[in-house]
Structure 1
């Protein structure tokens, strides 16, 4: 469901030109996904100068806003002001306001999750998420799914082992067959991987790598961070 702000009590259509109405209605119809300026021109078939002038007017009156699309940062992307952009556009909580992957925060959260997995000996995503919440080290609340992204990134970093509980011994508190995690490295060696291969490429700190697929919204072919690493 789209996150939608309370609409302005003013009726914006009253003072719009016909071209502005066409563009505003199109942008509004895209809800929290918004639309690229070139797609607007293609769908409305309005002249480029008319689109540019109308967008400038709508922006100046606060009826629409330009947002960063983390997959295509060079494109001008617009939303109606009453909507908050979808995580598909912003990258979600793993990206900062400039649309860049927040590697520093991700690494901090990785360290917190790793600490709790180590203390718990064997844990599930839910028990790690609960431990992170109880620690109160984070300003915002993170869902088990989001913490799961971080834990799976730790698996890729080779810090954590993913396995299934057999219900015996150290797994006694975890239902048989359930996916769980335990630390692979000793406490004094937990940061060795930061200078390794996985730390040097953006995938090593990206918690959304599990959702990255060729042709998908998150894709190696459209990821500018991966492209910059290849160029380097």
Structure 2
């Protein structure tokens, strides 16, 4: 039993010895530890230079070496695309760096957003009333997208359609058209066309001289060209 434990221990030591982390030079180790300490936030190259005080040529050499050893990776910061950021390969960039699911390589994925907006709108228009969960299910079943779409993403898209007055939010009553949804569930339907006040569509409703207008006066409906055009229309 002791022999087995000893063999396992030796294997672990042998495996650790092969790890590129254990074969770093002192400057590489210092640089790697500094980058890794920032975890999923990454680190700007200028900040690295300030803290390590490495000459430019050596700094570039050690950064390249760490990349070759697959210990660090360059990442794109959406708010500082011109600045070089690096992160230990153990971590994935935070949402603050990448912008989240709507960004690809630091760029807002507008085509994908537009496709998803149009898809959500069509589903709502065809089903009349939907919830976030039901529209997510419809998208999965239709298989229209090449990538997975989270509930959070769909919720954000639906909110944008509400803000653009394409859709409207309605709360389920559990009856009639809402019978498929629990009472209180937030649902979505096609936005209603805004109701225009009857007088607002008549020129008189916005005429600044309406108080001076009389049937026999200088200003009169009979001589008003705007009122005549409105009647012809």
Q: TM-score, normalised by structure 1?
A: 0.67
Q: Does 1:11 align with 2:19?
A: yes
The answer for the alignment partner of 2:47 in structure 1 is 39
The answer for the alignment partner of 1:127 in structure 2 is 134
1:182 aligns with one of 164, 189, 194: 189
SS in 1 for 2:79: coil
- What is the distance in 2 between the residues matched to 1:74 and 1:65? 16
Deviations 1:205-227 (A, max 9, x none): xxxxxxxxxxxxxxxxxxxxxxx
The answer for the alignment partner of 1:68 in structure 2 is 76
SS in 1 for 2:74: strand
Query: 2:30–2:52: 8 Å Cα contact kept in structure 1?
Result: no
SS in 2 for 1:163: strand
The answer for the alignment partner of 1:87 in structure 2 is 95
Matched residue count: 177
Shift of the alpha carbon at 1:152? 1.1
Q: Which has the higher contact order (CA 8 A, sep 6+)?
A: 1
Matches within 5 A, 1:44-193: 44-47=51-54, 49=56, 50-97=58-105, 99-184=106-191
CA RMSD of aligned residues (A): 2.4
SS in 2 for 1:137: coil
The answer for the alignment partner of 2:218 in structure 1 is none
Shift of the alpha carbon at 1:117? 1.3
- Flag the structure with larger Rg: 2
Q: Does 1:30 align with 2:30?
A: no
Shift of the alpha carbon at 1:133? 0.6
Structure number with higher helix proportion: 2
Shift of the alpha carbon at 1:60? 3.5
- What is the distance in 2 between the residues matched to 1:156 and 1:89? 26
Runs of 5+ unmatched residues, structure 2: 1-15, 194-233
Shift of the alpha carbon at 1:48? 5.5
Query: 2:20–2:69: 8 Å Cα contact kept in structure 1?
Result: no
Runs of 5+ unmatched residues, structure 1: 1-7, 187-232
Mean Cα deviation higher: 77-86 or 108-117: 77-86
Shift of the alpha carbon at 1:39? 3.1
Structure 1 runs of 4+ with >3 Å offset: 50-53
SS in 1 for 2:114: helix
Shift of the alpha carbon at 1:45? 4.3
- What is the distance in 2 between the residues matched to 1:63 and 1:45? 18
SS in 2 for 1:85: coil
Q: TM-score, normalised by structure 2?
A: 0.67
Shift of the alpha carbon at 1:113? 0.9
